[in-house]
């Protein structure tokens, strides 16, 4: 059974059909790239899966469970973590606190216990801290640990957001344009980081990406959306040379 199964998903905003009968199945431990021109419905699809939007029709199943109508925090609890196209960090927190916030679901402390801050709370905080430090090491972010994220450069923010998503220890990781705005070195690094993480932590990854070279490097499978419809689905070499895909990306004359 696929980890993520989307069936006939449709959603419209006013007169715009953002997604029209989109279906796909993502297998466990795959790295899948979702591509398509601007306005194709990629981010909308992410928002439907994570419960931010509610689809008009269709179903989304995650790990066999119907999550079509679940709220975002419930979907997160089931093991879906994400990053956002326009970086959504907690600006006034340090990088450390941002990533610690990502451990929320793995901690138990209630308000009264927190006020007393007894041994059990300290133990839990220390355990969370240890996990976060591992992620900081892994993503080479130690220098940013105590910096308020609003003062960090763009590429570093992207990595902090990735670390925060990983802190959830998700089964499925949704990355919305993880390399947007990055230099080519940073992009290359991102490819390695994501591939290693997916392998080491056995995470399934679905990512939106515009850079086709990066898509070829990173993913085993590519799904193409255009005007809310799925127009291709397959291995990167086949899909990126597909006539319909090329037409969607660069126009008819190409």
Residues of this chain that interact with other proteins (CB under 8 A) are: 50-52, 71-73, 76-77, 81-82, 84, 88-93, 97, 100-105, 107, 109-111, 114-117, 121-122, 124-126, 128-130, 133, 164, 168
CA 122 and chain centroid, separation: 31
What is the closest distance, in whole angstroms, from the C-beta atom of residue 73 to other proteins in the complex?
A: 5
What is the closest distance, in whole angstroms, from the C-beta atom of residue 90 to other proteins in the complex?
A: 4
3 state SS of 58: strand
Number of residues written out for the chain: 254
Helix axes 154-167, 184-200, angle to 10 degrees: 10
Measure the CA–CA gap between 59 and 232, rounded to whole angstroms. 20
What is the closest distance, in whole angstroms, from the C-beta atom of residue 167 to other proteins in the complex?
A: 8
What is the closest distance, in whole angstroms, from the C-beta atom of residue 145 to other proteins in the complex?
A: 11
What is the closest distance, in whole angstroms, from the C-beta atom of residue 138 to other proteins in the complex?
A: 17
Q: Which is nearer to other proteins, 126 or 254 (CB)?
A: 126
Q: Which is nearer to other proteins, 94 or 219 (CB)?
A: 94
Other residues' Cβ atoms within 10 Å of the Cβ of residue 254: 8
150, 92 contact by CB (below 8 A): yes
Output the CA torsion 37→42→43→47 (10° steps): 160
Q: Which is nearer to other proteins, 92 or 250 (CB)?
A: 92
Q: Which is nearer to other proteins, 149 or 191 (CB)?
A: 149
What is the closest distance, in whole angstroms, from the C-beta atom of residue 123 to other proteins in the complex?
A: 8
Copy the structure tokens of residue 41.
């419905």
* Residue among 178, 218, 186 at smallest CA distance from 85: 178
Measure the CA–CA gap between 130 and 246, rounded to whole angstroms. 46
Q: Which is nearer to other proteins, 73 or 199 (CB)?
A: 73
DSSP 8-class letter at 85: T
Q: Which is nearer to other proteins, 32 or 89 (CB)?
A: 89
């Amino acid at each position: 059974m696929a980890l993520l199964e989307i069936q006939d998903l449709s959603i419209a905003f006013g007169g715009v059909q953002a997604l029209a009968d989109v279906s796909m199945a993502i297998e466990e431990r795959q790295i899948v790239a979702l591509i398509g021109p601007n306005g194709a419905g990629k981010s909308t699809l992410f928002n439907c899966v994570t419960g931010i939007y509610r689809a008009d029709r269709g179903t989304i199943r995650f790990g066999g469970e119907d999550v079509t109508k679940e709220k975002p925090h419930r979907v997160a609890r089931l093991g879906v973590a994400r990053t956002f196209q326009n970086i959504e960090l907690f600006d006034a927190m340090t990088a450390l606190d941002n990533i610690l916030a990502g451990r929320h679901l793995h901690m138990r402390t209630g308000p009264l216990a927190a006020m007393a801050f007894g041994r059990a709370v300290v133990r839990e905080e220390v355990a969370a801290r240890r996990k976060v430090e591992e992620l900081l090491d892994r993503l080479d972010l130690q220098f940013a640990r105590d910096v308020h994220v609003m003062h960090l450069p763009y590429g570093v923010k992207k990595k902090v957001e990735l670390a925060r998503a990983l802190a959830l220890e998700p089964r499925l990781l949704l990355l919305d344009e993880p390399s947007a705005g990055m230099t080519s070195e940073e992009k290359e690094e991102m490819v390695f980081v994501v591939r290693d993480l997916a392998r080491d932590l056995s995470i399934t990854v679905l990512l939106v990406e515009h850079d086709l070279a990066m898509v070829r490097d990173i993913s085993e499978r590519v799904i193409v959306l255009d005007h809310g419809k799925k127009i291709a689905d397959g291995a990167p070499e086949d899909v990126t040379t597909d006539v319909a895909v090329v037409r969607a990306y660069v126009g008819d004359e190409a």
